[in-house]
Amino acid sequence: MASGTRARSLVDRTLTVLTWGLAARRGVELVEVLVSGRWSRRRLSGLATRPGKEPAVQLVCVVPMYLEQAIAAETVRFWHGFAERTGVAAVSFVTSVKERPEVGPTTRDIVAAELARLGNPDRLRLVHCEEVTRFRAAQLNLAVQQVRANSMRTGHSPSSTWVAVYNADSRPSASTCAELAGQSMAEPRIRVFQQLVDYVVPERPGAGLVAVGNSALQSWWTRSHYWTRNTVGRRDSWLAATVPFSTFGHGEFVRLDFLEDIGGFPDFAYADGLLLGWICRLRGEPIGLLASRDCAEVPRTGRDLVTQQAAWMRGLLNFDATVAWCHQHGQVRLSRTQVAALRAAHLSIPIIWGLSTAVLAAGTVLLGRRIIARSATVADAAKLACLLSYPVVPTLALAGTGERPPGVLARLAGAAASWPLEGVGFWPAVVSHLRRSQRAPTKTPR
């Protein structure tokens, strides 16, 4: 009897710590979202009222595409309008020879046809990558070769030439180019920028509540965790160098001279966006932040969400491979202790991310059983309410994203449906990592 009492007391203390820890975390995140929102409004307001001509920078947007037949034509039309409205010098759509569907046109065929329909605009280019590799970095580096050749021909220096990377579903806001131009002049030492991202529900058949919830949760993360880590990580201190954050692989801007310093986009492992940001961190290179949003789609279905989360988790486990590459190529500028601290911080992210779902679910089930058995206390009911509210708080505090944001009830139901699935991707990622597999997903889920 005494052992049972002690066990229940231990469980109660654990649940109390878990509950109040999660509540405190959501509270801190809410403050971060509010502060980042004020920062974004102030930055963009200053951008809108800044007098004079935009500083001259050469910006080339690169859009790698693979098996994107469903959105290829729409993507070309968007970038055609974007190029007309902004100061982007060129947009390169980079397709791959790896794409060989048995039936129907390839992405390359669709892009070429849409460009022809638009009259083959001067600033839109179709580039086809003939190199077969496991990762998309080959497509990016082919575009970089052309950017370098064009810059030499037009007299633009590497320090004034920027390469932006976007996914096929990326829809950056019109203020992006002007903000990059202004910030590159205001912060000349920064050679890599990441813009904040609003995740939106795809306006295509098949998108359901999972997509609605996931769009809110991912947008919440970028406005809270990422904004804070990036802001703190740019400070000039020992601890700031150990803050874990990176670039996303879309909505990222890299100056050409930096790419030349590191030999192009990294191709030694999966998730070049993460690898690029980690190389910056290990070099002590700051990653600037843009308030202009990149609107990017979330996966439409639960299955696609698990595939995406597993891919992200797999990428997060590649930090050691990045450290090894940086040591091999003389790119490490941090001390041994700082590298160890950064490694520990990055390793904790996928572990906490993956285990939090299981821990919260177990606590919810345990407290629910007590309530059903009528053995629960008032404190138990309060803990259960806190645990159940944890996944849905972001949907209440954050307005929906996109041109037609979902209503609050849809966001609540969507968060309840999508949040449990996000942690599921941890397990296949761990198995893949332990098997030392570097196999990337066939394509990014759309």
In a domain, 353, yes or no: no
Closest by CA to 320, choosing from 191, 440, 194, 436, is 436
Q: Which helix (H) or strand (E) holds 172?
A: strand 171-172
Residues 6+ apart with CB under 8 A from 107: 65, 66, 67, 68, 69, 72, 95, 99
What distance in Å separates the CA atoms of residue 401 and residue 395, rounded to the nearest whole number? 11
In a domain, 244, yes or no: yes
What distance in Å separates the CA atoms of residue 275 and residue 270, rounded to the nearest whole number? 8
Give me the percent of the chain exceeding a pLDDT of 70. 90
Closest by CA to 211, choosing from 130, 334, 90, 299, is 299
In a domain, 224, yes or no: yes
Q: Is 188 exposed, middle or buried (CB count within 10 Å of its CB: 0-12, 13-18, 19+)?
A: exposed
Closest by CA to 142, choosing from 158, 123, 129, is 129
Distances (CA, A) of 319 to 1, 92, 98, 254, 397: 48, 29, 27, 20, 33
Q: Residue 67: give its domain's CATH number.
A: 3.90.550.10
The structure's pTM equals 0.90
In a domain, 407, yes or no: no
In a domain, 374, yes or no: no
Q: Is the pLDDT of residue 50 over 70?
A: no
Number of neighbouring beta carbons within 10 Å of residue 164: 24
Query: Using 50, 70 and 90 to split pLDDT, how confident is the model at 49?
Result: very low
Q: Which helix (H) or strand (E) holds 125?
A: strand 124-129
Distances (CA, A) of 6 to 2, 115, 137, 273, 399: 6, 71, 56, 49, 45
What distance in Å separates the CA atoms of residue 411 and residue 106, rounded to the nearest whole number? 35
In a domain, 128, yes or no: yes
pLDDT top residue among 256 and 376: 256
- Contact status, residue 214 vs residue 302, Cβ threshold 8 Å: no
- Contact status, residue 304 vs residue 176, Cβ threshold 8 Å: no
pLDDT single digits (tens) 172-197? 999 999 999 999 999 999 999 999 99
Number of neighbouring beta carbons within 10 Å of residue 173: 19
pLDDT single digits (tens) 79-104? 999 999 888 999 999 999 998 776 78
What pLDDT does residue 389 have? 86
> Could you please report the per-residue DSSP string of 184-240?
HHH-TT--EEEEEEEEE--SSTT--HHHHHHHHHHHHHIIIIIHHHHHHHTSSSTTG
- Retrieve residue 5's tokens: 């009492």
Q: Is the pLDDT of residue 417 over 90?
A: no
What pLDDT does residue 13 have? 84
In a domain, 434, yes or no: no
pLDDT single digits (tens) 267-291? 998 889 999 999 999 999 999 999 9
What's the average model confidence in pLDDT over 140-156?
A: 91
What distance in Å separates the CA atoms of residue 319 and residue 344, rounded to the nearest whole number? 10
Residue numbers of the domain that contains 126: 27-344
Query: What's the number of domains the chain is made of?
Result: 1
Residues 6+ apart with CB under 8 A from 246: 273, 274, 276, 277, 278, 280, 281, 287
In a domain, 48, yes or no: yes
Burial 224-249 (b: 16+ CB within 10 A, else e): bbbbbbbbebbeeeeebbbbbbbbbb
- Contact status, residue 98 vs residue 66, Cβ threshold 8 Å: yes
Arithmetic mean of pLDDT over the chain: 87
Q: Is 383 exposed, middle or buried (CB count within 10 Å of its CB: 0-12, 13-18, 19+)?
A: buried
* Residues 146, 152, 154, 157, Cα dihedral to 10°: 110
